[in-house]
Structure 1
Amino acid sequence: MVRNLILAERSPLTGKTFCVEKELEKFFLSPSVKAIWLDSFWWIFHERYKPDKEIQNKLFDRIALNYASLLFFGPGTFYERAILKRLPMLLSKALYTSFCCCFSQSWLSTHEFKSSICDTMGLWFSGIYPSPQSYSNWNYAKLDPERHRREELMSLSKYMMKGHRGGISSERPVSSGTKSEDSYRTQDTYTPKEPRRQTLVSRKATQQVKNISEARWQAESVSKQSHPACKNPKMEKYLFNVCAKSPLILHFLLRYTSMAQHGEDVLITRWEPGRMLPETSLTYRDIIRLVLSNMMRRRNRVTQLHQMHQQGWQNFDRHLRELWKNFQRELKTIDQKEAEMRKKAHRFIMSQSSAKPAIRPTRESYLKEIDFILRRYHSRNPR
């Protein structure tokens, strides 16, 4: 757990802590700091999960004794004084990684849990609340490596499956959000640029590497903060004690010394947010994602409707072609039937004409015909 804390203190840009790592490890492995760490862990455990005021009072008393001894006899070097200035935040990170290691199957990455740890340590050791959501910049990949590794594998597998289904290919650079210890070590070593460039040119990224790069880029974008898409809470006036006093030191002075409390409280008025925004409030990133997903869903719907429209016209054209073919087929059948009827009628007429005898005109019919023609002529020409 001390190693997790030291790795989490490394800067993501330089890979170095604010002091020498050996001094930081030595400080947290000292008996008084180990006792403060352990008693604070059990105090928060009883406060949240198994309240017991008697045990909590004893734990708080021991924490006050150890902290007082640490201040009176401990800070001698420059590194120790630098660590003491950051002790509330360092202990908050130490308690968080302790809970994560002890309860690896529990979901502890909630704002309520982390803010309670930070507020408790800030009030105990400095007498003031820390800045809101000061835990948002923690390196959770080092404080909770097991859960972070499990979540990263789940996100990678999810985006890889999405990439295989949708054929996603990306050319973004590989970035995992938080740099590991090995990456910091490799940055300090010198490597020639020309062979490196030739290697990158000759080596082609496979589809699996592209999918992993896409997933890591998505994970990095998720880790970035986004402001809630709503109005800021109203600012209200609060009294702030400039000469803040540590409850641990006050408890030690009241209980174990007869020393009178000196000094005075200097109160000033400052503006603070009246209420914190709820965790479930949508951020601008969430709204952008919802808009993009709605656009994608509507685009897919329009594409489906267009395909259905094209399919309907194709079916309609196919049906019209079938109807035209049937009409041509029936028309051809009717023409064939009519041709056959004509042939049959012609054969019937020919057969009847060949069967009847030829009628020869007689003298009487001939004279009647001449008489009819003459009357017709005289009727038209009376003169």
Structure 2
Amino acid sequence: MINTDGAGTWPPQASHRDSWPASLQPYHDIFLDLAPLLPVDQICVNDAINQSRRIEYRTRLQKLLQERVDLAAVESDLIMSEDSKTSSLTSDGYNGFFACISTLRHAFRWGTVPIVKVAQQEKVINFPSELDLPWKFLRWRYGSQSPGGNTMSNFYCNFDSDGNLVYAVNRSMPEPIPSAEHNLIYSFTEPERKVCIVSFFLEQSLTYFKAVPIYYHIVQSILFYENGQKLKCKEHLKKVNLHLRTALRIYYENVIDSKIPRSVFTAYIQGFHGWAAGENVNGKYIEYDGISGAHLVLFNLLDLFLELAPFLEEQSFVNYIPASQRKFIASIKSHAFRGEAKRAGDVEVVLQLEDMVKQLRVRLFANIQNSH
């Protein structure tokens, strides 16, 4: 997960445009050129006007793609990227390209923001070749099946090194719309992040982790439990609970109406990252949902480690979660020991596990009460 998706770290690091081969750079420029044309501040309910706007946006996008993108060169560079020895596209560059193409596909799928009824009625999207060809390579690399984006592409890999959104949909809109867009994507990604704090008292920089140590201490607790070292297992579970409080606080403090107003969330953010369309595979129509907090590594891993009922069906994992992340989550699930610890009467271990369950329920219930 760290080496393949994360480009050597976690959460995934991404670089954009300048780190890509020249053939890929027009995609970045095209998105930024057309981004101001996507959202409107006056919501319209006239289907004919909305469809006209969508067609106009798609026509402009297709025209720029045809004029600026050398599809043969794109294919050649992406083929070369499969060989690490000859590729000029680094892992972090690939992540940034993933974010760019995914956001362009969502932009083409909807054609206007807020999303409109006539767009929702369109169930099979005929994408330009310039968006379909790279998506085939991206699907293969990351191992997710949906024709639309996921939390990896649209959220994790959509920040630059300064914490700014690269492919922001609503940057041209008046406040609070741009801030709400940033706050939502921040709340999805920040629990996975590590931050550096400068301590003037200690005269040194301290790296402060959030979700990563949760993963580390869960793995350690499994190893010690399976080796019969229950006290050491308990100590690692205590550390999981400590770090979990920090990670969950991000949601509790940010996914609230004052930072993401309800009027903005549905119209300008949630809709764009949805999908509600599909494709025909072997004569059968398959529809895909959009991006959801249910796709985050942290919550899926905790649910399965604690032997709770998974929120997602198995096919949804394949559709929306990259393969290396699925593999990590599945590995933790196969070694979960909450039920075994209860049957064995390992009271101290069970208490720590139940504290995790309680934290998830309390924090998420508070979020539901204060958010959307």
Compute the TM-score of the two structures, normalised by the length of structure 1. Answer: 0.29
Larger radius of gyration: 1
Which structure has more relative contact order (CA 8 Å, sep 6+)? It is 2
Q: TM-score, normalised by structure 2?
A: 0.29
